[in-house]
Amino acid sequence: MKSAMGIFSRNRTNDTNGTETAAVSTPIKVAVVYYSSTGTIAEVSKQIAQYAEKAGAEVRLLKAAELAPQEAIDANTAWAANAAATADIPEATPADIEWADAVIFGSPTRFGNIASQLKQFIDTLGGLWAQGKLADKVYSGFASSSTTHGGQESTLLALYNSFHHFGGIVVAPGYTDPAKFADGNPYGTSHVDAQGNNPVDHTTREAARVQAERIVRITTALKTGLATT
Ligand SMILES: Cc1cc2nc3c(=O)[nH]c(=O)nc-3n(C[C@H](O)[C@H](O)[C@H](O)COP(=O)(O)O)c2cc1C
């Protein structure tokens, strides 16, 4: 098994007393990996990536590869528009997950579960899992649905099942900031798109900010702590 010490780099430095201590000098690495058909989760992903970067992380914004046939995409205006708008975003690979200290996954609800495209990507991580390389990283998630009680929590909890199998450190936003009482989902940022009639709004952007900042803060603390032990 690759230990956390292997994942987290460590440098020697002097504190104010001149004592040599271990410290983390490189920014933490965050991979934001999402799937989105009609653009809602793509928009939330951008927010999370931007806020994580603003909080000091090195960020990779990545999408799960599409599995649907081109005819299905072309038949849905919003889906086709999102595919075109996100064409430049690289597709996630297992190497991106190995690279990251923290991974934040995003998915629309699909009958209360994650989208098959994201699941397919997660299923490609078996090789890393077998080598212990998914363990000791921070994981978190975000979701969207069409309706208010349409399955956001069950989608996030289904996603979080896999994180336990990874040996991951699950960091949910909880109600750690007043903004979380507005979006109301302690499991992860979530947005109700009302069948495309409710674009990503201030409430969801604030939830994205809180989650991104928390992931960077907790991951940095873990990295620093592990580097000093
Ligand atoms: C096959 C399928 C199943 C869905 N299941 C649900 C559901 O159970 N509850 C719900 O509220 N929305 C459901 N939706 C709607 C999407 O989860 C929702 O519109 C989401 O915000 C779309 O995200 P996107 O724009 O990033 O693709 C479903 C959509 C599809 C295509």
* pLDDT tens, position by position, 43-70: 999 999 999 999 999 999 999 999 999 9
In 29-171, which residue ranges form alpha helices assigned H by DSSP?
A: 40-54, 70-74, 77-85, 94-99, 116-123, 126-130, 152-166
DSSP state of 27: P
Q: Angle CA(126)–CA(127)–CA(131) in degrees, nearest 5?
A: 110
Distance from the CA of 37 to the center of ligand 1, in angstroms? 9
* pLDDT tier, 8 (very low <50, low <70, confident <90, very high otherwise): very low
Q: Which residues are within 8 A (CB) of 178 and not within 5 positions of it... i.e. 6 or more apart? A: none
Q: Which residues of the chain form beta strands (DSSP E)?
A: 11-14, 20-23, 29-34, 58-63, 102-108, 138-145, 169-170, 190-192
The predicted structure's pLDDT at residue 25: 66
Alpha carbon distance 16, 98 (integer Å): 35
Query: Which ligand 1 atom sits closest to the C-alpha of 37?
Result: 27
Half-sphere exposure of 210 (CA within 13 A, CB side): 26
Whole-number percent of the chain with pLDDT over 90: 86
Candidate from 146, 185, 200 with most ligand 1 atoms within 8 A of CB, to mutate: 146
* 162: its two tokens: 């896999």
Query: Which ligand 1 atom sits closest to the C-alpha of 193?
Result: 21
The mean of the pLDDT values for the chain is 91
**Which residue is closest in CA terms to ligand 1's atom 28?**
110
* 97: its two tokens: 């997950």
Candidate from 145, 152, 191, 201 with most ligand 1 atoms within 8 A of CB, to mutate: 145
The residue with tokens 């699950």 is 170
The predicted structure's pLDDT at residue 7: 36
Ligand 1 binding pocket includes 39 (Cβ within 6 Å)? yes
- Condensed to tens digits (0 to 9), the pLDDT of residues 108-160 reads 999 999 999 999 999 999 999 999 999 999 999 999 999 999 999 999 999 99
Question: 17 pLDDT exceeds 70?
Answer: no
* pLDDT tier, 6 (very low <50, low <70, confident <90, very high otherwise): very low
**Which residue is closest in CA terms to ligand 1's atom 22?**
108
Alpha carbon distance 63, 137 (integer Å): 19
Ligand 1 binding pocket includes 109 (Cβ within 6 Å)? yes
Q: How far is CA 128 from CA 5, 30, 78, in A?
A: 17, 17, 35
Query: Which ligand 1 atom sits closest to the C-alpha of 192?
Result: 21
Query: Which ligand 1 atom sits closest to the C-alpha of 112?
Result: 8
Alpha carbon distance 134, 97 (integer Å): 8
Half-sphere exposure of 206 (CA within 13 A, CB side): 14
**Hey, which residues does 100 pair with through a beta bridge?**
none
- Condensed to tens digits (0 to 9), the pLDDT of residues 158-186 reads 999 999 999 999 999 999 999 999 999 99
